[in-house]
Amino acid sequence: MPFTATDLPGLTIFEPKVWGDDRGYFYESYNENTFKEAGIDVTFVQDNEAKSSYGVLRGLHYQVPPFAMAKLVRVLEGEVLDVVVDIRENSPTYGQSFSIILSAENKKQLFVPRGFAHGYVCLSETVIFCYKCDNFYSPTHEGGIIYNDPKLNIDWKAPHTDLVISEKDQKQPRFNQHRKFLSAESVG
């Protein structure tokens, strides 16, 4: 199977089968049946794409119910360190983070279920980052956590002096002050 479970329940790495030859390559970046067979039954409603340069850090972002959002994230150009934090208060891994290098070269994708804060930092000169979402953006349901919270102790793999962070992301609350993600959904 092209899926690998992580230590955080529901968070799954997807490595598609890539066929390559002297013309280039081909792969299915998403197939609903393949995901359902792996137990990931989600209906995506929106695709987003962002272009950034080296050092740009976006995150840590999430939305609370009823606009909580699952994502399938990948990189079309360049390389990022992708980071998620479990914010599901009923989860045994609440407050734990996970990071992975996603790149155009490795073609790995990360399925981020509802209940995770998400962010990434660009490690290459340019990055094109794409993600499928299972809910629509709702500014009134948006939440965030400051990227450098000492409790989370995330190693962003880029020197602090190189980071380019929006004013909004510089003002996010600490983990113990973030907008709570209360969900009736069970955590497996």
Active site residues: 61, 131
Instruction: For the beta carbon of residue 27, count every other beta carbon within 10 angstroms.
Output: 12
- How does DSSP assign the chain, residue by residue? --EEE-SSTT-EEE----EEETTEEE--S--HHHHHHTT------EEEEEEEETTEEEEEEEE-TTS---EEEEEEESEEEEEEEE-BTTSTTTT-EEEEEEETTT--EEEE-TTEEEEEEE-SSEEEEEEEESS---GGGEEE--TT-TTT----SS-GGG-EE-HHHHTPPPGGGSPPB---S---
C-alpha atoms less than 13 angstroms from C-alpha of 73 in its C-beta half-sphere? 27
Contact 58, 52 (CB under 8 A): yes
